[in-house]
Amino acid sequence: MKRFLVALVSVLVGAGVVAGVAVFASATKGETPLLVAEPAGTVDTPEGPVNAANLELYVYPNSSDAVPGPTQGVNALYASQGWPFYWPSTTLQVPANSLVTVTIYQYDSGGRVFNPFWAKVHGTVDGTMTVNGKTVTEVDPTKVAHTFTVHQYPESGQPYLFVSVPLPDLGSNQVGNANPYSDTPKEVTFTFRTGEPGTYVWNCEFPCGDQYQEFGGPMQQRGWMSGTLEVV
């Protein structure tokens, strides 16, 4: 009987430890709230009418009173680090088989992107984007602040989706270190087409973090410069 009780208690303690770890991991995972693209009617295309949706994002150089940045779960620990971040969320949802127009307001400074591939526009309709209303296919690789780059797990059976746009920088004297931010952000707009439903990841390809090669900090933590794109 005593042996049975010892075994039972051991199993219960083990299960408790596993459950505790799972609860802790879930509570601190730091995923930002879901941001759903707003439906925008239909658009006529050569293949027929296609549903459209709009998504609006902001990139800030650091958190402020007005824009606190990600604070969910473990992100609360990083709130005072002065990291750049996408706002209002990095967990994005867009409709399937649609044209999605994304507008990003970019408030940060930048520099040279190591790989010039990321200074070019990839995967958008016509391979273009607009910067403050001007249509371009690439930007100066020495003046890139961030990128918005969607990629995926190719063996998952979902349609291939690769979209990458560079976000031009603001001059460092134009960037506010805290609230208020610059009054003249770079406004980048692009449209891409989604296929069947799937889940993708996206991140910034410009090293804008801290530590080694500036690939630490916000580059390695969901909710700052990376997230998920769900096509539903």
Out of 160, 195, 196, 197, the only residue in the binding site for another protein (CB under 8 A) is 160
Out of 115, 134, 173, 180, the only residue in the binding site for another protein (CB under 8 A) is 115
Tell me if 152 contacts another protein by CB under 8 A. yes
Minimum gap (Å) between residue 13 Cβ and another protein: 29
Chain-centroid distance, C-alpha 57: 9
**Which neighbouring-strand residues pair with 229?**
92, 200
Residues contacting 120, CB < 8 A, separation 6+: 137, 138, 164, 166
Q: Which is nearer to another protein, 65 or 155 (CB)?
A: 155
User: Amino acid identity, residue 65?
Assistant: D
- Let me know how many helices (H) and strands (E) the chain has, helices first: 1, 13
Measured distance CA(91)–CA(230) in Å, rounded: 8
Of 20-28, 64-72, 113-121, 167-175, the window that binds another protein (rule: CB under 8 A) is: 113-121
Out of 117, 158, 187, 193, the only residue in the binding site for another protein (CB under 8 A) is 117
Minimum gap (Å) between residue 143 Cβ and another protein: 18
Give the three-state DSSP class for 54: strand
Measured distance CA(36)–CA(55) in Å, rounded: 8
Structure tokens at 81: 């680090």
Tell me if 154 contacts another protein by CB under 8 A. yes
Work out the end-to-end distance of the chain between its first and last CA atoms, rounded to an integer number of angstroms.
Answer: 55
Tell me if 90 contacts another protein by CB under 8 A. no
Minimum gap (Å) between residue 39 Cβ and another protein: 28
Binding-residue pattern over the window 193 to 232 for another protein, x denoting contact by CB under 8 A: --------x-x-x-x----xx-x---xxxx---x------
Tell me if 139 contacts another protein by CB under 8 A. no
Tell me if 146 contacts another protein by CB under 8 A. no
A 10 A CB-CB count for 97 gives 13
Give the total of residues touching another protein (CB under 8 A): 27
Measured distance CA(119)–CA(140) in Å, rounded: 7
Measured distance CA(199)–CA(151) in Å, rounded: 10
Q: Which is nearer to another protein, 186 or 222 (CB)?
A: 222
Tell me if 153 contacts another protein by CB under 8 A. yes
Residues 17-76 that bind another protein (CB under 8 A): none
Are 92 and 207 in contact by the 8 Å Cβ rule? The answer is no
Sites of contact with another protein (CB under 8 A): 114-117, 120, 122, 149, 151-155, 160, 162, 164, 201, 203, 205, 207, 212-213, 215, 219-222, 226
